[in-house]
Amino acid sequence: MLESLRNYSLEALETWFQEHNIPKFRAKQVFDWISKGVTAFDEMNNVPADLKNQLKEHFFINNMMISDVMTSSDGTRKYLMTLNDGNIIECVLMRYKHGNSICVSSQVGCKMGCSFCASTLYGLERNLDAGEIIGQVMTVSRDIQERISNIVLMGSGEPLDNYHEVLKFMRLVNHPKGMNIGMRNITLSTCGLIPKIEALMEEKLQITLAVSLHAAEDEVRDALMPVNKSYAIRPLLEVCKRYAEVTGRRVTFEYALIAGKNDQRTEAERLAILLRNIHCHVNLIPINPVVERSFKASDQAQAKQFQNILKQHGIEATIRRELGSDIDAACGQLRNKHINRASK
């Protein structure tokens, strides 16, 4: 079976080239081309034809096809991409003054079952491999002909449920001779798989860990996020505290504000007490209503009140500016539309 070239690090390629008696510098040339996002061997114009043929016998370039792009009035671009096996994923490009940021998917679908999230409606289809995750960055960068400087693993899927490939992806995209995106410019968002957070902590990467909390009481979180029945709030926060201490990196907590469910004054106060001794930052996100779900976003005044209470307790909190809400940019929304269309 052919192997996906986009899954190969420079070091792994060099080993392969050495084993096949090909000069080492050729591996660097090929890695360069792959990092530039080429979609065919024939684009590698400094690689001799017989070497290209030899490579084609062992490798393929795991392209993804852009099957739809939607551009928001604020410049946000949402991409629907078709993978080799016909599966569809989505990723979102956000344009900021400080550079281009991309939100990538780590799985096709998701099995975590969060009640407000569109990605999980049809369950988990499969994991993406590292090459398919970096492929999203390459494809978008090529499409806009610009460098991507920030990555958030906040698209469809639970990154820590695909631990090995996600880690491989972060190392690949960070490689100084590859796309060279700094670890500090990568954010990994998780619903809170404690053993995997502990494993990640040992890697001591300089990435930002974002944890989807969304509630300050187990009863409320149980109802929103089934994962809470295995990994409840207190032990989760305990590991987050250790994570910040061990890595020296501030943890981000994501808190989606849902009108009447988790946005009251008492919830804000409870949250402030829970987070008291953690080096953290809270990102408040008025929930993005999903057609299939019945939640309503908290209004601005309620969000502001929630933020102020946290601040009064010395906890840094920001209300996330909504980007791309006119193009269904929340996780899984575009893909679901496509699936629904296809099944009609």
* Active site positions, annotated: 90, 331
Q: Is 127 one of the binding residues for ligand SAH (CB under 6 A)? A: no
Q: Note whether 333 and 157 are within 8 A (CB).
A: no
Closer residue to ligand SAH (CB): 34 or 91: 91
Closer residue to ligand SAH (CB): 56 or 111: 111
Cα(299)–Cα(207) distance, rounded to whole angstroms? 32
Write the burial class of residue 42 (CB in 10 Å: 0-12 exposed, 13-18 middle, 19+ buried): exposed
Q: Which amino acid is at 163?
A: Y
Among 108, 268, 290, 310, binds ligand SAH (CB under 6 A): 290
Number of residues counted as binding ligand SAH (CB under 6 A)? 17
Cα(289)–Cα(28) distance, rounded to whole angstroms? 46
Min. distance of Cβ 198 from ligand SAH in angstroms?
17
Pairing state of beta strands 317-319 and 99-103?
Answer: unpaired
- Per the rule left: phi > 0, alpha: psi between -120 and 50, beta: everything else, 233 is alpha
Q: Is 154 one of the binding residues for ligand SAH (CB under 6 A)? A: yes
The interface region with ligand SAH, picked from 65-73, 143-151, 184-192, 308-316 by CB under 6 A, is 184-192
Paired residues of 152 in beta bridges = 103, 187
Q: Is 303 one of the binding residues for ligand SAH (CB under 6 A)? A: no
Min. distance of Cβ 114 from ligand SAH in angstroms?
6
In sequence order, what DSSP letters do the residues of 46-111 get, joined into one string?
A: TS-HHHHHHHHHHEE----EEEEEEE-TTS-EEEEEE-TTS-EEEEEEEEETTEEEEE--SEEE-S
Among 287, 303, 315, 327, binds ligand SAH (CB under 6 A): 287
Q: Is 263 one of the binding residues for ligand SAH (CB under 6 A)? A: no
**Quick check: helix, strand or coil at residue 252?**
strand
Q: Is 288 one of the binding residues for ligand SAH (CB under 6 A)? A: yes
Cα(181)–Cα(151) distance, rounded to whole angstroms? 8
Among 88, 92, 285, 310, binds ligand SAH (CB under 6 A): 285
Neighbours of 230 (CB within 10 A): 11
Residues 186-245 that bind ligand SAH (CB under 6 A): 189-191, 212
Min. distance of Cβ 293 from ligand SAH in angstroms?
7
Which residues, including other chains, have CB under 8 Å from residue 88's CB and lie 6 or more apart? 67, 80, 81, 82, 108, 335, 338, 339
Closer residue to ligand SAH (CB): 150 or 189: 189
Residues 65-124 that bind ligand SAH (CB under 6 A): 114, 116-117
Site string for ligand SAH, 7-46 (x = CB under 6 A): ----------------------------------------
Binding site for ligand SAH (CB under 6 A): 114, 116-117, 154, 158, 189-191, 212, 254, 256, 285, 287-288, 290, 330-331
